[in-house]
Amino acid sequence: MRHLLAITLFVMLSAPFAHSGQLPRPDHVVIVIEENHGYSQIMDNRNRASYIHALAKRGLLFTDSHGVTHPSLPNYLALFSGSMQGVSNDSCPHTFNTDNLASSLLHGGFSFVTYSESLPKTGDLGCASGAYQRKHNPASNWQGTRLPAEINQRFADFPRDFSRLPTVSFVIPDQNNDMHDGSFETADQWLKTRIEPYVAWALKHNSLLILTWDEDDFRAENHVATIMVGPMVKPGVSMQRIDHYSVLSTLLDFYGLPALGASRDAEAITGVWKNLDRM
């Protein structure tokens, strides 16, 4: 018995657990990822009547949020796995066999799904189909190694009963609606129509929305907007510097899961949670 206890204690102390500290545990987290616009473009005062600006006022706006590189794909990989996986461009396809957010959640008894708009069918591994681009769907690169096909679903399968959502999900608008090919106004209306019902529900059901951008408009500072809305969030503005690795660190911390890659060195987001500030 003592031997078993010693082994258990050794495993607990030696495992690369996510950063400790008191954080909320949302029942559901939905992360919506937009494309290729800098903070100043999104938060421009000319857009003050937009849904995105209204969302920022209802929740928490991070004014010092950053992508980690250019172009798109390595940013998605960083957010999903804590590593760019040696990728420096938007090439396709790739297959990886490393730990990631989804595999960590599944191993911990939680759930994960990516909902991609215009994905032809569940589990599809094509590089492109109309306005869908696999480079914006990071989980697909682990499908068949660490992840089952069921985690790679169409946005059409996003449940109307939000209580049926997985623990964590990525929502990937297609290139017509993520500001890559379409306009700010088109993406803004898409969010208002498709995501606002979840936001209204989340505020009453211990759940969280994270709206962020993969990268800015290819500037050195890679300054993007990140907005969080949920009942556990203090509305307002946060000036703490965050990036994709600190968002990943926070997601892992929510559920007590091991840190991944560069998220081991990234501070989880603090000082923004109601009644849960770190001392």
State how far the Cα of 140 lies from the Cα of 147, in Å rounded to an integer: 8
In the prediction, which pLDDT does 11 show? Answer: 33
Residue-level pLDDT at 87 = 98
**Residue stretches of the chain with pLDDT short of 70:** 1-21, 276-279
pLDDT digits (tens, 9 = 90+) for 56-68: 999 999 999 999 9
How high is the pLDDT of residue 278?
A: 40
Give me the sign of the Cα torsion angle 104, 151, 141, 38. Answer: negative
* 218, HSE (Cβ side, Cα atoms, 13 Å): 3
Helix axes 244-254, 72-81, angle to 10 degrees: 30
Give the model's pLDDT for residue 20. Answer: 43
Give residue 202's pLDDT: 98
Q: What is the pLDDT of residue 21?
A: 54
pTM for this entry:
0.92
Amino acid at 90: D
Q: What is the pLDDT of residue 275?
A: 81
> What is the fold of 2-264?
Alkaline Phosphatase, subunit A (3.40.720)
